[in-house]
Amino acid sequence: EAGVAQSPRYKIIEKRQSVAFWCNPISGHATLYWYQQILGQGPKLLIQFQNNGVVDDSQLPKDRFSAERLKGVDSTLKIQPAKLEDSAVYLCASSSTGIGYTFGSGTRLTVV
């Protein structure tokens, strides 16, 4: 089966600019997650979707981060405006009940 697709693979932006990341989960997976992974740390959950509804966004910095999952399939994560501390790898994962997680390869964001 095809894996979780993410794009772009790398992105460099200046602070205060905006950026968007895209994720296409595995077909049929109802649950989609966005994680942030800062260098040297484990991934940290930002938001969890069940179909097109938000299940948990308690760790999403909502003043600058937003995410949506239209039609319960693809998802986008946006940062506006970006700060230096947002430099990280942004990972998307999908799962379905009874099936484990599958992660994408991530988008590496560098804010300069």
Partner 1 sequence: DAKTTQPTSMDCAEGRAANLPCNHSTISGNEYVYWYRQIHSQGPQYIIHGLKNNETNEMASLIITEDRKSSTLILPHATLRDTAVYYCIVRVYGTGGNTPLVFGKGTRLSVIA
Does 98 participate in binding partner 1 (rule CB under 8 A)? yes
Q: Is 95 in the site for partner 1 (CB under 8 A)?
A: yes
How many CB atoms neighbour CB 60 within 10 A? 19
53 interacts with partner 1 by CB under 8 A:
no
Piece in contact with partner 1 (CB under 8 A), picked from 14-22, 37-45, 63-71, 78-86: 37-45
Which residue, 72 or 81, is less far from partner 1 as judged by CB?
72
Closest CB to partner 1 among residues 19, 106: 106
Contact 78, 26 (CB under 8 A): no
Task: Please state the closest distance from residue 16 (CB atom) to partner 1, in A.
Answer: 28
Residue 110 contacts partner 1 per CB under 8 A = no
Task: State whether residue 86 is helix, strand or coil.
Answer: helix
What are the residue ranges of helices labelled H in 4-112? none
b/e per residue 30-44 (b: at least 16 CB within 10 A) = ebbbbbbeeeeeebe
The region of 19-27, 65-73, 74-82, 101-109 touching partner 1 under the rule CB under 8 A is 101-109
